[in-house]
Amino acid sequence: MRAAPMRELVIVPEPREILPAEAAALVQAYQRASKADGTVRAYKADAAAFTAWCVRFGFRSMPASPEAVAAFLVHEAEAGRAASTIGRRLAAIRYAHKLVGAPDPTDDEGVHATVKGIRRRTGVKPTQKAAATADVLAAMLMRVPETLAGKRDRALLALGFAGAFRRSELAALNVEDLQEDKDGLRVSVRRSKTDQEGRGIEKAIPHGRFIRPVALVREWLEAAGITEGPIFRPVSRSGRVRGAERLTDRSIAEIVKGYAKAAGLDASTFGAHSLRAGYITTAAERGADLARIMDQSGHRDPRTVVGYIRRANAFKDHSGSGFL
């Protein structure tokens, strides 16, 4: 009899319980990319604050117990942290545990009760920055010096207002994002808070007659000799542009605060968001359509914009104007 042919031996690898270190690091990098850069930075700071507190009081931070999380949140509340900050701290702890596959200590009835108690005691109303309306912006622009840094600041204030930009959007703008149009500029926002996947939106910036944002942006770029890369860059005290560096979110906020103070306003109530709020408020005061305002601001939830409109028109056609 002919012997049966031998079957080829197939070696099946042992199933892995744990990914190799390099693969695990790569997976975590993509998981972190699901969050905006600003959110990641904030979460890292929140996690560091929690870890430092745990070290100080002898708790384990990873995996943490619900009791430790609740005590940390109370500590933050007693230290005067805003409810929004405490909420973000909680989200950071939750996210850190989920990333490593540890049990979520924030999903505990005791932690939920603690958060509810903090909200009842401290309140949840957000602190809104003052709106740099068209009139306020004009007063700020009048205080800008005739220097290279001044040209940059003038362009930043005008464009930030005209496009109702978030500060992260302003900081991320490149020359390549600007497209000339006979009616002004078309500005491409490649990624924003409400567009984390980078589909991109386009904002139309008219030439204008009063603020003249398009002309001010051109003046800055020409004076600085910038033809590509970041639009808004640091300028040294000697008046030189610092290479291809990009202004940070914080730098933009400080610039707005600085000119608010120069205009005789309370700088503590102003920030980078003031430009965005100022555009929406001014547009609402001038009777602009809600949908058109949202086109420019990039808001997806009309309730946010309606809040600006309601505040801007609080005294217009007031119900008591005929008898008060």
87, 182: one domain: no
Find the angle CA(298)-CA(221)-CA(182) to the nearest 5 degrees: 60
C-alpha–C-alpha distance, residues 67 and 54, integer Å? 11
Q: Last residue of a domain, which of 121, 154, 187?
A: 121
69, 150: one domain: no
308 carries an active-site annotation: yes
250 carries an active-site annotation: no
Which is it for the CA torsion 59, 69, 36, 22, positive or negative?
Answer: positive
Per-residue pLDDT averaged across 165-177, rounded? 93
Which residue type does 178 have?
A: L
Which is it for the CA torsion 95, 99, 100, 104, positive or negative?
Answer: positive
Per-residue pLDDT averaged across 2-16, rounded? 50
**Which residues, at least 6 apart from 15, have a Cβ–Cβ distance to it below 8 Å?**
none
Model confidence band, residue 243 (pLDDT cutoffs 50, 70, 90): confident
Position 16 in a domain: no
**Which residues, at least 6 apart from 266, have a Cβ–Cβ distance to it below 8 Å?**
130, 260
Lowest mean per-residue pLDDT among 14-28, 48-62, 142-156, 272-286: 14-28
The percentage of the chain sitting over the pLDDT mark of 70, rounded to a whole number, equals 83
Q: Which of 152, 257, 273, 279 is catalytic?
A: 273
Phi and psi at 212, nearest 5°, equal 55, 55
Position 150 in a domain: yes
Q: Which of 152, 167, 276, 279 is catalytic?
A: 276
261 carries an active-site annotation: no
User: Highest mean pLDDT range out of 94-108, 142-156, 269-283, 289-303?
Assistant: 142-156
pLDDT tens figures, 68-79: 999 999 999 888
C-alpha–C-alpha distance, residues 165 and 161, integer Å? 7
- Among 130, 165, 128, 126, CA closest to 259: 130
159, 287: one domain: yes
Q: Which of 75, 88, 94, 193 is catalytic?
A: 193
CATH of the domain at 35: 1.10.150.130
Provide the residue range defining the domain that includes 181: 134-313
Has residue 249 got a pLDDT over 60?
yes
pLDDT of residue 81: 85
Position 243 in a domain: yes
Per-residue pLDDT averaged across 34-59, rounded? 82
pLDDT of residue 19: 46
- Among 162, 155, 140, 171, CA closest to 216: 155
Number of domains in the chain: 2
64, 181: one domain: no
97 carries an active-site annotation: no
Has residue 181 got a pLDDT over 80?
yes
Has residue 229 got a pLDDT over 90?
yes
Has residue 67 got a pLDDT over 70?
yes
209 carries an active-site annotation: no
193 carries an active-site annotation: yes
Q: Last residue of a domain, which of 95, 121, 147?
A: 121
Has residue 6 got a pLDDT over 50?
no
More confident call, 123 vs 268: 268
Has residue 187 got a pLDDT over 50?
yes
Has residue 15 got a pLDDT over 60?
no
Average pLDDT value for the chain? 84
Q: Last residue of a domain, which of 97, 121, 145?
A: 121
The tokens for 283 are: 């547009």
pLDDT of residue 323: 73
C-alpha–C-alpha distance, residues 257 and 266, integer Å? 9
Position 174 in a domain: yes
Q: Which of 166, 203, 233, 257 is catalytic?
A: 166
247, 283: one domain: yes
